[in-house]
Amino acid sequence: MSTYESDLLRLLEARGHLHQITDAGALDALAKKQVITGYVGFDPTAPSLHIGNLASIMLLRRLQQSGHRPIVIMGGGTAKVGDPSGKDETRQMLTDERLASNIASIKGSFERVLRFDESESGAILINNDDWLSKLGYIELLRDVGPHFTINRMLSFDSVKTRLDREQPLSFLEFNYMIMQAYDYLVLARDYDCRLQLGGSDQWGNIVNGIELNRRIDGREVYGFTAPLITRADGAKMGKSVDGAVWLNEEQLPAYDFWQYWRNTDDRDVGRFLRLFTDLPLDEIARIEALEGAEINDGKVILANEVTKLVRGEDAAVAAAATARDTFTGGGAGEDLPTLCVGSAGMRLGAVLTDIGFTASNKEAKRKIAEGAVKIEGDTILDPGYVVIAHDGEPLKLSLGKKKHGLITR
């Protein structure tokens, strides 16, 4: 039974998003009394966000579902500096052009998950470069600098970890927490923003922003963090054996995105349904109680629901159909990755790399030697085997149980 009275905190707690709150009682009372504006920041360091970011996007979705207003902050300014949180090395500097391109590419992910309109709870997307790039250095030192002590800044985990490992932490990155705190000050002033949300690794940055608001403007604002999402096997959410699981179709086909969720560990199904879908909690409890092979039905539901949310219903339906054709019907789904080898054919090692199943020909040879590669169900052990497709029916290529593709002429 929840101890909270506001719909917002009840929902966040019930769905498994709650880790820390700066002043739970005061935030609960405020959320019960009025519409709250809250924000999450995302640094556009790539053309797409990945599913590790989806946990934070869902925080904004829950905020909106509870009748409050979400703000998406695109860190066009902070990305020029780089967040040291969870990083072992300095980030690569990005040009203004690359950042603008990344922001344009990322926008669609938010537009699917959040509602952008002129209503009281309509989402807003803002780029913090709009104010950070205009901020004078002397002005920042004079107005903001006195409210930060080096002692306190050195105590944050994001800084301590780098220093303890004797890894470089540039002065540029050291300023990141000051810039993020300044973001909160600007948003509180211009948008009456009273809540910052984020992952647990952002706790220090969030507290800095709260302190800066209190010290400069005497304004009470709040912070909320969600637990770091890890899989049952201990791996960090957002990564697969093949790299990041991207939200954008251009970086990862819908079928591969769907398949990632379909391959969820049995132990994670219920938790991920609560975090990443809107399925009713009683339905999730029913699915979570399934045992043996039946839990696979729950994994399909998870894959369908998350893909529908992030990629759209058509993508979810097509991916599910491809999976059925591939695994159940023994056929080849239309959404499987396809490689044309031409009339002369192509060596199997090169095929595996070109279709994206392996990162290099060396890895391809290893997989072939392990007996993990099949063509039309037959194991091929010769890395020099030439794959020749004929007109008409494509050949089905498989690497292990989870990677399947089509070879055409």
Quickly tell me which residue has 């608001």 as its tokens. 213
Do 293 and 344 lie in a common domain? no
| Residue 231 forms part of a structural domain | no
Residue 352 confidence (pLDDT): 84
Residues 6 or more apart in contact with residue 37 via CB below 8 angstroms? 68, 69, 70, 71, 187, 191, 192, 193, 194, 195
Q: Tell me which residue of 95, 121, 124 sits closest to 107, measured CA to CA.
A: 124
Phi then psi for residue 230, to 5 deg, are -120, 155
For residue 240, is it within any domain? no
Question: Is position 245 within any domain?
Answer: no
> Is 362 contained in some domain?
yes
Same-domain pairing of 151 and 219: yes
H runs (alpha helix) in 218-268: 254-262
One DSSP character per residue, 90-119 reads: PPPP--HHHHHHHHHHHHHHHHHHS--SSS
Question: Is 378 in the same domain as 319?
Answer: no
From residue 161, alpha-carbon distances to 84, 237, 289, 374 in Å are 10, 21, 40, 45
- Alpha carbon distance 253, 393 (integer Å): 23
Amino acid identity, position 343: S
| Chain centroid offset of residue 14 CA | 21
Q: Which amino acid is at 300?
A: V
CA-CA-CA-CA torsion for 10, 15, 17, 22, nearest 10 degrees?
10
- CATH number of the domain bearing residue 346: 3.10.290.10
239 within domain boundaries: no
8 A C-beta contact, residue 307 and residue 254:
yes
Q: Which of 175, 209, 226 is the last residue of a domain?
A: 226
pLDDT digit string, tens, across residues 41-92: 998 989 999 998 999 999 999 999 999 999 999 999 888 776 555 454 455 6
Question: 84 is in which domain, residue-wise?
Answer: 7-226
Whether pLDDT at 33 is above 50: yes
Domain boundary among 162, 191, 226: 226
243-285 per-position pLDDT tens digit: 689 999 999 999 989 999 998 999 999 999 999 999 999 999 9
Q: What share of the chain has pLDDT > 90, as a percent? A: 52
Assess whether 268 and 128 both reside in one domain.
no
pLDDT at 328: 55
Number of domains making up the chain:
3
pLDDT of residue 165: 78
Please tell me whether the overall predicted TM-score, pTM, comes out greater than 0.85 for this model.
Answer: no
β-strands 243-244, 239-240 pairing: antiparallel
Q: Which of 226, 245, 264 is the last residue of a domain?
A: 226
pLDDT tens digits, residue range 335-376? Answer: 677 777 777 677 888 888 878 788 777 888 888 888 888 887
> Is there a single domain that holds both residue 342 and residue 320?
no
C-alpha to C-alpha distance for 60 and 195, rounded to whole angstroms: 11
- Angle CA 38–43–45, to nearest 5: 160
19 and 135 in one domain? yes
Confidence (pLDDT) at 207: 92
